[in-house]
Amino acid sequence: MWTIDYSDLSERDLEALQAKVWDGSETLKVFIADILPHDLKEKKDMEDRMIELENLVTTFWWVVILEHIQKRSLPDYKTYIGWWKLDEIKNEMHLQWANLLVLGNILKPHQMYNLNSHLKEIWAVAWDRVDLILKIFEKNAKTEETKLQIELAAIKHMWPRIFNMWMELWKQGWKWSGETNTEIMKRHLSNREKEIRKKLDGYSKVRETHRQGRKKKGFLTVGIVWYTNAWKSTLLNALTNKWVLSEDKLFATLSTSVWKMWIAPSNTPQGEYVKWKEVLLSDTIGFIRDLPPELVDAFASTLEDSIESDLLFHVVDASDPKIDEKIQVVDDILDKIWAKQERIYVFNKIDMISWHMLIELKKKFYKKKVLYISTHNKTGFEAIIELLEIT
C-alpha cells in the first residue's frame, strides 16, 4: 500500500490518482453497491440489477470482490448511500484492498464529489453506472467516429460535476475566483463539443449518402437492434456466412456495420419465380436498461442506419426470465430516437426453452409479428428468408 499525505491533496492530484488506479496496469478490485427502494416489488429485481452491474464490471476484466444492497426509501442527498454506510463500505474496501467503488445508479454531481473526497483516504475512487459504461465504451472504441461519440458523451456527463467541483472548492475558501475558472472551463468544453458535433455531422452525411445509394439500387435494408447479450452477432454470422465479432461481453461492438445477405432464387407457392435478392443487414450497439441519455444522444448518428432501414429486427433472448422488461427497454429507446418502421421480434435461443414455454410465448405475443429461431441449430431460418423474400 502506498503511503501518501492527503492533507494537501488538490483536485488535480486526485485526478492523477484516479488515472493511476484505472490505467490498466493491474487488476482492479471492485466493490459494487446500490440501494433497495421499499417500493420495489421483488427483491429479485434488485438481484438482477446487481448481476447486470457485475457483468458490466467483469466486461472490463476487473474482479468484483464485494456487493452491498441497502434498504432505504430514498437515496441520501449527499452521498446516495448515507455517510455511515459509506464509512462501512470504505472500511471493508480498505481491508480487501479494493480500489474502485461502483454505484448501480446515476448519481448527482455533488454525491460523486463527496464520495470521491471520502474515498481518497484509502487510495480509492467512485464511479456511478454512467462512468462505468463510458469506460467500457472507451475501451471498445475502434473507429475515430466512435471515439468522438464517447468523448461527446463524456463531456455532457462530466460538465455538471466539474461545475460542482469548482463550486465546492470555492465554498471551502479557495482564494481564486470560482466563477472565472468555471467560465473558462465551460467555454473550453463548449468549444470542444462544437468541434466534435461538426466532425460527427460529417460522418453522418457520408452515411446518408451511402443510404441514398442503397435505396437507388433497390436494396432491402434491415436494421438489427437488441438488448445486450441476445446473440445478435451469432445471428449475423449465420445469415451472412461472414465472421462478426461474437463475444459474451456487454458492448463488444460499438460501430455500425452493414452486412450483405444473399437470398437464392426460388419459386413462390403460386409458382412465381423469385430471382437472387440482396438484403443489407445493419447492426449497432446493444441496448441496456437505464442507458444514459447522453450516450443515446452521442450515438444518434450511428443509430441512423437502423432508424432509416426498411425493417427492424428486434432480437430477443427467448430464454431470458426478464424478457418483457428487456423488450420494453429496447422499444422505449426506439421510440425516443423516432424509429417508425415496422418492427419484427426475432425470438432467439428457442432451443434453450421447453416446448411448454415456447407455447406460452406464442400465446403472449400472438398480436405481434414474431419469428422464433435458434442460431445454434438454425431452426426457424426459413421463416426469416420467406419474410425477406416477400418484403
How far is it, in rounded angstroms, from Cα 14 to Cα 124? 10
pLDDT the model gives residue 23: 52
pLDDT the model gives residue 43: 65
**Phi, psi angles (nearest 5°) of residue 220:** -80, 130
- For residue 248 the three cell numbers come to 459474451
Q: Say if CB 21 and CB 124 are below 8 A apart.
A: yes
Instruction: Work out the number of other CB atoms within 10 angstroms of the CB of residue 290.
Output: 14
User: Do 102 and 228 share a domain, yes or no?
Assistant: no
Residue 345, amino acid? Y
Whether residue 300 is contained in a domain is answered as yes
Proportion of the chain above pLDDT 70, given as a percent: 75
Q: Say if CB 339 and CB 251 are below 8 A apart.
A: no
Whether residue 314 is contained in a domain is answered as yes
User: Do 116 and 246 share a domain, yes or no?
Assistant: no
Q: Which of 100, 127, 154 is the last residue of a domain?
A: 127
Handedness of CA 84, 46, 41, 250 (dihedral sign): positive
User: Do 243 and 383 share a domain, yes or no?
Assistant: yes
Query: Cα-Cα-Cα-Cα dihedral of 145, 146, 149, 151, to 10°?
Result: -110
User: Do 104 and 223 share a domain, yes or no?
Assistant: no
User: Do 243 and 353 share a domain, yes or no?
Assistant: yes
**Cα atoms in the Cβ-side hemisphere of radius 13 Å centred on 338:** 5
How far is it, in rounded angstroms, from Cα 328 to Cα 336? 12
Map grid coordinates 432464387 to a residue. 265
User: Do 99 and 237 share a domain, yes or no?
Assistant: no
Proportion of the chain above pLDDT 90, given as a percent: 17
- For residue 21 the three cell numbers come to 488506479
Q: Which of 127, 162, 197 is the last residue of a domain?
A: 127
Average pLDDT over residues 176-200: 76
Instruction: With CA atoms as reference, report the closest residue to 211 among 105, 302, 84.
Output: 302
pLDDT the model gives residue 357: 93
Output the pTM of the full model. Answer: 0.74
pLDDT in tens, 263-318: 777 666 666 666 677 888 877 777 777 777 777 776 766 677 667 788 889 999 99
What is the CATH number for 333?
A: 3.40.50.300
User: Do 17 and 122 share a domain, yes or no?
Assistant: yes
Average pLDDT over residues 139-163: 79
User: Do 90 and 237 share a domain, yes or no?
Assistant: no
Whether residue 155 is contained in a domain is answered as no
Q: Which of 99, 127, 155 is the last residue of a domain?
A: 127
Q: Say if CB 253 and CB 267 are below 8 A apart.
A: no
Instruction: Work out the number of other CB atoms within 10 angstroms of the CB of residue 258.
Output: 17
Average pLDDT over residues 354-367: 92
What is the CATH number for 78?
A: 3.40.50.11060
pLDDT band with cut points at 50, 70 and 90 for residue 9:
very low
Whether residue 176 is contained in a domain is answered as no
Whether residue 42 is contained in a domain is answered as yes
Least confident range from 8-17, 34-43, 69-78: namely 8-17
pLDDT the model gives residue 337: 77
Domain of 312? 218-390
pLDDT the model gives residue 44: 66
Whether residue 145 is contained in a domain is answered as no
User: Do 222 and 121 share a domain, yes or no?
Assistant: no
Map grid coordinates 481518497 to a residue. 120
Instruction: With CA atoms as reference, report the closest residue to 62 among 32, 91, 38, 36.
Output: 32
Instruction: With CA atoms as reference, report the closest residue to 238 among 373, 328, 49.
Output: 373
How far is it, in rounded angstroms, from Cα 9 to Cα 246? 44
User: Do 249 and 362 share a domain, yes or no?
Assistant: yes
DSSP code for 122: G
Domain count of the fold of the chain: 2
pLDDT top residue among 37 and 24:
37
Whether residue 262 is contained in a domain is answered as yes
Instruction: With CA atoms as reference, report the closest residue to 284 among 176, 190, 143, 169.
Output: 143
**Phi, psi angles (nearest 5°) of residue 156:** -65, -30
pLDDT band with cut points at 50, 70 and 90 for residue 373:
very high
**Phi, psi angles (nearest 5°) of residue 221:** -115, 135
Instruction: With CA atoms as reference, report the closest residue to 381 among 273, 234, 235.
Output: 235
pLDDT the model gives residue 40: 54
User: Do 120 and 235 share a domain, yes or no?
Assistant: no
Average pLDDT over residues 187-196: 87
Assess whether pLDDT exceeds 70 at residue 76.
Answer: yes
User: Do 122 and 222 share a domain, yes or no?
Assistant: no
Whether residue 172 is contained in a domain is answered as no
